[in-house]
Amino acid sequence: MADTKREIERKFEFSKAKSARRGVPDLTGTAAIAAVTDQGTVDLDAVYYDTPDQRLAADGLTLRRRTGGADEGWHLKLPVSPGVRDEVAAPLGDTVPRPLAALLRSRVRDSDLEPQVRLRSSRKVSHLLDADGALLAELSTDRVRAERGETTATWTEVEVELADGIDPALLDAVEETFRKGGLKLSDAPSKLSRALTETGTAPPPRPRAGIPDDDTAGAHVLAYLREQRDALIAQDPAVRRNLPDSVHQMRVASRRMRSAFETHRKVLDRAATDPIGDELRWLAAELGVDRDQEVLLERIRTHLDELPRTLQLGPVRARLRVWNTARRSASRRRAVAVLDTPRYLALLDAVDALLAEPPLRKAAADPARTVLPKAVLRDYERLAGRVDSALALEPGHERDLALHGARKAAKRARYAAEAAVPALGKPAERMAKAVRKVQGLLGDHQDGVVAREALRGIGAQAAGGGESAFTWGVLYAREETLAERRERELADVWAAVSKPGLRAALR
């Protein structure tokens, strides 16, 4: 069993030896701190684990087995933002607990987790209390000894970790008091990071995701692909933890990468990218089962809430819960199970291999400002053809299918424009923004199509259970009306988006 808590903290170090001799400044009177109470000293012994090539450290993750103190056990720390991490804890044991190993699978894969460094710390703990005696934060002063083979390093660091629900502004006040007292923010984001640096074994810096190495088309496309690869890997543990929007974000990363392969076939050899694109399509589809159900439920629930009570006949909310539970529990299990399949891990390996040795074509060496506008405009023309074809059809099933195809084309054109922003700037931003409006309308239209099918099924279930199906029929009719409205709006929005000036600015 694993427990999770959000850590909001800052680490400090003494700026000079003279400051260290003076010790930690008294924080009494800083912001809401009314008292500082001594909680004694505890000895901590932690062994940090990583792959031989230090994949966790490279991504800012730490995995340790720690004895001593009130929270001894296994701890996995996942970065959220600067100074904020989620700590997932599991009971003490001799091997990495399975729940923690699962959260690391997208990074570790088939590699082993091995001891990397041992940290022995003597920790002096104090509680920072407000005027009512409530805990605001915990202050720790650690004398640390790092051991990696025969190499050792020692240092002292000070850490202030907020209690749950406390305004992070308190840390700003503490930092100011510490600055005046001779402490500065630590350059190292974690003890492990500092230990690896001080023992000369820090992992080499990774290429910065989203930042091209030069101004060639190949460099810009690869930077974008690295960014999506990193997002895909980072969302894996979030999906396993069932964090809000995680499935959606992981699905978006897979779609963006696949879309980039299709858009930039003159930059990357499709013989290498097409098989990976097929696997990304498979992953997005598997994840989509859970995400689509989540979106569908929210849509139906929102429209139901908007109906007058007089139109809500029978146990409609109970019926909706039954329908959703039956579908959602299975879809959630399916989404998580996919992440443990050999096929998924092989996909991640294939993406890494492609980025390590990219199959660049001749156009990759050309300037991005020459190649990328053409790619964006090709995707725009593809979208234009599909929108025009859809709007030429009579309302009905065939038009719904055509509009769904146009939605996919809009998404690809938007992704192409967004990926080109680092090279093309404002013109690409304006194109992305314009196409996003089209995608939004088409997306809402398709969601309505899916909702109508679901409402028909729920209504049939209600009737079969002896309940009134009236409300589900009302919601179905409302979806038809909304679809007609979106189709009328699309014609107006498309007329604005298709003006030549938007495309001319890209050339």
Strand-pairing partners, residue 76, are 63, 88
The pLDDT, as a whole number, for residue 209 is: 63
Confidence of residue 158 (pLDDT cuts 50, 70, 90): very high
436 close to 414: Cβ distance less than 8 angstroms: yes
User: Using CA atoms, how far apart are residues 484 and 314, in angstroms rounded to an integer?
Assistant: 28
DSSP state of 104: T
Residue 25 has pLDDT above 70, yes or no: yes
The pLDDT, as a whole number, for residue 507 is: 82
- What is the pTM (predicted TM-score) of this model? 0.88
User: Using CA atoms, how far apart are residues 380 and 404, in angstroms rounded to an integer?
Assistant: 16
Give the C-alpha distances (Å, rounded to integers) separating 56 from 143, 197, 208, 345: 24, 15, 16, 17
Mean pLDDT of 112-127: 96
User: Using CA atoms, how far apart are residues 409 and 429, in angstroms rounded to an integer?
Assistant: 18
Pairing state between β 114-129 and 3-14: unpaired
Q: What average pLDDT is seen over the chain?
A: 93
User: Using CA atoms, how far apart are residues 56 and 75, in angstroms rounded to an integer?
Assistant: 13
Confidence of residue 325 (pLDDT cuts 50, 70, 90): confident
User: Using CA atoms, how far apart are residues 483 and 477, in angstroms rounded to an integer?
Assistant: 10
- The superfamily (CATH) of domain 3-198 is Hypothetical Protein Pfu-838710-001 (2.40.320.10)
SS (H, E, C) 226-288: HHHHHHHHHHHHHHHCCCCCHHHHHHHHHHHHHHHHHHCCCCECHHHHHHHHHHHHHHHHHHH
HSE of 347, CA atoms in CB hemisphere, 13 A: 26
User: Using CA atoms, how far apart are residues 236 and 242, in angstroms rounded to an integer?
Assistant: 10
Residue 120 has pLDDT above 90, yes or no: yes
Residue 215 has pLDDT above 80, yes or no: yes
The pLDDT, as a whole number, for residue 467 is: 94
DSSP state of 31: T
pLDDT, tens digit (0-9, with 9 covering 90-100), for 280-310: 999 999 988 877 888 899 999 999 999 999 9
Q: Could you please report the per-residue DSSP string of 144-165?
A: EEEEETTEEEEEEEEEEEEPTT
Express as a percent the part of the chain with pLDDT over 70: 98
Q: What angle do CA 295, 389, 406 make, to 5 degrees?
A: 25
Among 197, 180, 189, residue whose Cα is nearest residue 10: 189
The pLDDT, as a whole number, for residue 111 is: 94
Mean pLDDT of 205-215: 75
Structure token pair of residue 139? 């202050």
**Type of residue at 116:** Q
The pLDDT, as a whole number, for residue 329 is: 67
Structure token pair of residue 130? 């407000």
Q: What CATH code would you report for 217-504?
A: 1.40.20.10
The pLDDT, as a whole number, for residue 345 is: 96
Structure token pair of residue 465? 């259970």
pLDDT, tens digit (0-9, with 9 covering 90-100), for 349-358: 999 999 999 9
Confidence of residue 458 (pLDDT cuts 50, 70, 90): very high
Q: Within 10 A of 52 (CB to CB), how many other CB atoms are there?
A: 10
Confidence of residue 207 (pLDDT cuts 50, 70, 90): low
Provide CATH 2.40.320.10 ranges for the chain. Answer: 3-198
pLDDT, tens digit (0-9, with 9 covering 90-100), for 366-424: 999 999 999 999 999 999 999 999 999 998 999 999 999 999 999 999 999 999 999 99
Provide CATH 1.40.20.10 ranges for the chain. Answer: 217-504
pLDDT, tens digit (0-9, with 9 covering 90-100), for 36-72: 999 999 999 999 999 999 999 999 999 999 999 888 9
Q: Within 10 A of 311 (CB to CB), how many other CB atoms are there?
A: 13
- Residues composing the chain: 507
